[in-house]
Amino acid sequence: MRQFGELEAVIMDRLWEWGRPALVREVVDDLHRDRPLAYTTVMTVMENLYRKGWLRRERDGRAWRYEPTRSRSAYTAALMNDALGTSVDRRTALAHFVLQMSPHDVTLLQQALDQARGETPDQARSQARSHQEGGPARSHPEVGQARSHPEGGPARSHPEEDGSR
């Protein structure tokens, strides 16, 4: 999947923000606040997004109402998956990614992993306490805990600093 072009991204952002189907004319009028664009330019880009499967449309008189087929989060996840797919060593790529995350994002990732495994927040906390107290080890390292660098040596904030390739 390719990343959206500049105008595609602006149009999709507007539609995601609005959360409702919109006419090309509404999008053009809204975009005119930032820059003048021809109606046909916006119509062509929205038609292209429709053909690519990012928008669905429904007739409204002689015009079309467009709305996103997927959420902004689904788009972001697809981009992340594509980026991960460029690595021959997914485990190391993921470890480098996690090392660059803020503590807040690490917490969000841990919650997403717990949710994907079907754990409730209470189960995840209980399992984390058990692990911290020397209980049974989980099958994966705790995302928010101190960890060594995936290729050996101390953890670093930027993978490029480790000198290995």
pLDDT at 119: 75
How far, in Å, CA of 25 to CA of 132, rounded?
A: 58
pLDDT at 127: 65
The DSSP secondary-structure symbol of 135 reads -
Higher pLDDT residue, 5 or 125?
Answer: 5
Q: Is the pLDDT of residue 10 over 50?
A: yes
Query: CB count, 10 Å around CB of 64?
Result: 19
Fold of 6-68: Arc Repressor Mutant, subunit A (1.10.10)
Delimit the domains of the chain by residue range: 6-68, 87-158
How far, in Å, CA of 162 to CA of 151, rounded?
A: 9
% of the chain at pLDDT higher than 70:
73
What's the gap between Cα 111 and its chain centre? Answer: 15
Model confidence at 122, in pLDDT bands (50, 70, 90)?
Answer: confident
H or E element, residue 22: strand 22-23
| Model pLDDT for residues 72-99, shown as the tens digit of each residue | 999 999 999 999 999 999 999 999 999 9
| Model pLDDT for residues 57-75, shown as the tens digit of each residue | 999 999 999 999 999 999 9
Alpha-carbon dihedral angle through residues 132, 138, 144, 145, given to the nearest 10 degrees: 50
pLDDT at 60: 95
For the chain, the average pLDDT equals: 82
Residue 99 sits at φ, ψ, to 5 deg, of -65, -25
pLDDT at 141: 42
% of the chain at pLDDT higher than 90:
69
* Residues 45 and 11: beta-carbon distance below 8 Å: yes
**Please, which residues bridge with residue 64 across strands?**
59
Q: Is the pLDDT of residue 146 over 70?
A: no
